C-alpha cells in the first residue's frame, strides 16, 4: 500500500485506534432465501424513500435494481443452469489451488503460500449437480478498511466511526459528489430527489436531500447497543453482525465446510486484508464469480495510486511553468 492508503500514512489515522472492536457483517449467500426482509427493515429504520416507480425490472425477483442513495441493502437474484454451476465449481476450485490464504490443512510456510498437500487434485465432486439454482445475495456497503469515499471527501463529512464503519454526516455533506466516483463498489450516491414518502403528501422535507447517502451500519442503533436492522431481521441468519475478526473466522470455517461437502463454488469476498481496499468490514460468502452478483472482481481504492497521480500533477504544473518561461524568453518584441 502507498503512503496515502494502508497501515501507514494519514489514512491509517482516519478513525482507527480506539477501544471498540471493529464491527461488520458476514453475509452468507448460501443460506439466503431472497425474502428481502433486510431491504424492508433497512428502509423502515432509516426512512429511505423508494427507488423507481414500482416497475417490474424483468430480472428474476429483483425489482430493486442496485444499491444507491435510497437503497442500502439490495438482494440480487440470479438464475443459473447446470453448465454455469459447473463453471462456478471449477473457478472456486481454482481459487484454492492458487494458494489463497487460509484454506485446508495449515501450511507451515509463509502466509499466502500454497497449503501443504495439493488440494486441487482432491476429488470433491458432490454426488449430483443440480439442474438449476437460484443465487440470492444481499449486498450492502462494504465499510472498507481503506475507504475511497472517506479519503476523497473534501468536507470531512464522511468519518470512520468507533465501530470501524464509514458514516456520512448528513448535516455536513455539501453534496459535491466526489465520494460517488471514489467507491469501487458503486455503493454511495447523492440523493437528488429526496422525499421520505413518495406517494403521500410531500410536506416532509428530507434532511438528506442533495447529500451523499449510504449504509451507516445503523450507527444510531450501534451506539445504543443494538445490532443493525437488516441483520436483526434476517430470518435465516444469512446476514450476521458481530466483531469483525470473529466474522472472518466464521466465514473461513463456513467456506471450508462447504468445500468439504463438494460445493467448491463457495468462496469468500472481502476477507483478505491485502486486497485493493485493505479488506472489507462486510464480508461475503459467494457461490460464483463476484461479477455475477454485480460486484467488482478486483476493486482498488483510488487513493492507493494517488501519490503517483499527484506526482504527475506536479510534473504537469512544472512543465507548464517551463513552457510559459520559454514562451517569454523566445518571443520577439
Partner 1 sequence: MSLTEFDADRPPEKPRRRRGDGRRRRRRGLGEIGMGDGSREGAVVEDVEFERADEYGSYYGRPVVKAPPWKAPIAVYLFLGGVAGGSGLLAFGAQCTRRPLLRRNARLVALGTVGLGTVALIEDLGRPERFLNMMRTVKVTSPMSLGTWVVGGFASLSGVLGALEVDRMTGRKLPLGPLRPLLGAAEGPASLGQVVLAPLLASYTGALLGNTIVPTWEAGRGHLSYLFASSASLAAGGAAMVTTPVAEAGPARLLAAAGVAGDVVSMHRMKESMHPLEREPLETGTPGKLLTWAERLAVAGGIGALLGGRSRVVAAASGAALLTASALTRFGVLNAGLESVKDPRRVIEPQKARLAARRAAGITDDSITAGG
Closest approach of partner 1 to the CB of residue 164, in Å: 18
Among 6, 15, 49, 92, contact with partner 1 (rule: CB under 8 A): 92
125 binds partner 1 (CB under 8 A): no
Q: Which is nearer to partner 1, 232 or 294 (CB)?
A: 294
Among 174, 197, 236, 237, contact with partner 1 (rule: CB under 8 A): 174
Looking at residue 1, the DSSP 8-state letter turns out to be: -
**Quick one: which segment of 22-30, 39-47, 204-212, 227-235 binds partner 1 (CB under 8 A)?**
204-212
296 binds partner 1 (CB under 8 A): yes
Rounded to an integer, what distance in angstroms lies between the CA atom of residue 300 and that of residue 276?
A: 4
| 316 contact partners, CB below 8 Å, separation of at least 6 | none
**Quick one: which segment of 16-24, 35-43, 180-188, 231-239 binds partner 1 (CB under 8 A)?**
180-188
Q: Which of residues 207-266 bind partner 1 (CB under 8 A)?
A: 209-212, 252, 255-256, 259
Rounded to an integer, what distance in angstroms lies between the CA atom of residue 33 and that of residue 3?
A: 43
Return the C-alpha cell found at 63.
Answer: 425489482
Binding residue numbers: 32, 35, 38, 42, 141, 144, 149, 153, 173, 176, 179, 183, 215, 218, 230, 234
Phi/psi zone of residue 143: left (φ > 0), alpha (ψ -120 to 50 degrees), beta?
A: left
Contact 241, 23 (CB under 8 A): yes
Among 20, 47, 261, 274, contact with partner 1 (rule: CB under 8 A): 274
Rounded to an integer, what distance in angstroms lies between the CA atom of residue 102 and that of residue 116?
A: 11
* Dihedral (CA of 234, 238, 239, 245) sign: positive
Among 12, 21, 35, 60, contact with partner 1 (rule: CB under 8 A): 60
Amino acid at each position: 500500500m502507498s503512503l496515502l492508503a494502508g497501515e501507514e500514512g494519514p489514512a491509517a489515522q482516519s478513525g482507527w485506534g480506539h477501544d471498540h472492536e471493529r464491527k461488520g457483517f458476514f453475509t452468507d449467500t448460501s443460506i439466503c432465501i431472497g425474502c428481502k426482509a433486510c431491504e424492508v427493515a433497512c428502509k423502515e429504520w432509516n426512512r429511505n424513500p423508494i427507488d423507481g416507480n414500482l416497475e417490474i425490472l424483468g430480472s428474476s425477483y429483483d425489482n430493486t435494481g442496485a444499491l444507491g442513495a435510497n437503497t442500502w441493502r439490495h438482494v440480487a437474484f440470479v438464475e443459473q443452469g447446470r453448465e454455469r454451476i459447473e463453471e462456478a465449481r471449477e473457478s472456486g476450485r481454482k481459487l484454492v489451488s492458487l494458494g489463497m490464504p487460509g484454506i485446508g490443512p495449515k501450511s507451515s510456510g509463509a502466509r499466502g503460500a500454497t497449503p501443504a498437500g495439493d488440494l486441487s487434485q482432491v476429488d470433491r465432486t458432490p454426488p449430483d449437480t443440480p439442474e438449476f439454482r437460484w443465487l440470492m445475495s444481499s449486498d450492502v456497503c462494504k465499510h472498507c478498511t481503506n475507504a475511497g469515499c472517506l479519503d476523497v471527501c473534501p468536507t470531512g463529512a464522511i468519518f470512520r466511526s468507533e465501530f470501524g464503519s464509514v458514516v456520512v454526516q448528513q448535516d455536513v455533506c455539501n453534496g459535491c459528489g466526489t465520494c460517488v466516483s471514489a467507491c469501487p463498489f458503486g455503493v454511495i450516491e447523492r440523493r437528488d430527489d429526496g422525499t421520505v414518502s413518495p406517494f403521500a403528501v410531500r410536506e416532509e422535507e428530507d434532511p438528506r436531500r442533495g447529500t451523499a447517502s449510504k449504509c451507516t451500519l445503523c450507527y444510531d442503533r450501534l451506539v445504543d447497543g443494538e445490532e443493525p436492522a437488516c441483520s436483526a431481521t434476517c430470518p435465516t441468519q444469512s446476514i450476521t453482525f458481530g466483531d469483525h475478526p470473529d466474522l472472518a473466522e466464521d466465514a473461513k470455517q463456513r467456506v471450508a465446510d462447504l468445500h468439504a461437502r463438494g460445493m467448491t463454488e463457495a468462496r469468500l469476498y472481502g476477507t483478505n486484508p491485502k486486497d485493493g481496499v485493505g479488506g472489507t468490514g462486510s464480508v461475503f460468502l459467494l457461490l460464483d464469480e463476484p461479477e455475477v452478483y454485480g460486484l467488482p472482481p478486483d476493486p482498488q481504492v483510488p487513493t492507493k495510486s494517488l501519490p503517483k497521480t499527484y506526482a504527475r500533477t506536479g510534473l504537469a504544473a512544472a512543465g507548464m511553468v517551463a513552457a510559459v518561461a520559454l514562451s517569454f524568453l523566445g518571443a520577439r518584441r
